[in-house]
Amino acid sequence: MGTALLSTLMLLGMTIPHRARDCTVSKEFEIKHTQALAGVLQDPEGASVPRQILWLLSGKDIFRSLKTDNHGAYDFGEVPAGKYRISVPHNGFCAPEVKCGTKGCSFKPKLKIDSEDMDGIV
């Protein structure tokens, strides 16, 4: 299903708008060498975040799209060298923080709550 969704989005020429102060899109990070990009996402309390949509963005375009499994696990597979951002559309979470070092890049597992989505909630 992820491949079909990605193909449809690519055919439509969909790009991701970038709003200032939008925490649903991460800061840009650079993968220096092709690497696997996988892990598990958790909410602020440490519980898994199942069925969360994640977009791996290259520029403003969706490079890969997926949903976490029932245990919050994600796997973008092998990602080539390049500059990327992560987007967590919908669901009230900010994009995960990305940490890059000599062994590659990874996401910090705990997501923060998107305070912009909390406006108007009593």
Helix (H) or strand (E) holding 30: strand 29-31
The per-residue pLDDT for 115 is 81
Buried b (16+ CB within 10 A) or exposed e, 55-70: bbbeeeebbbbbebee
pLDDT for 94 beyond 50:
yes
CA proximity to 15, closest of 58, 55, 60, 54:
60
9-35: average pLDDT:
71
- The DSSP code for 115 is G
- Specify the amino acid at residue 69: D
DSSP character at residue 26: P
Higher-pLDDT residue of 59 and 4 is 59
Identity at 79, one-letter amino acid code = V
Q: 80 or 12, which is more confident? A: 80
Tell me what the mean pLDDT of segment 71-100 comes to.
94
Place of tokens 């519980």: 47
pLDDT band at 21 (very low <50, low <70, confident <90, very high): low
Mean of the per-residue pLDDT values for the chain?
84
Name all domains of the chain by residue range, CATH numbers in brackets. Answer: 2-118 (2.60.40.10)
* Angstrom distance (rounded) from CA 117 to CA 114: 6
Query: What is the mean pLDDT of the segment spanning 57-75?
Result: 97
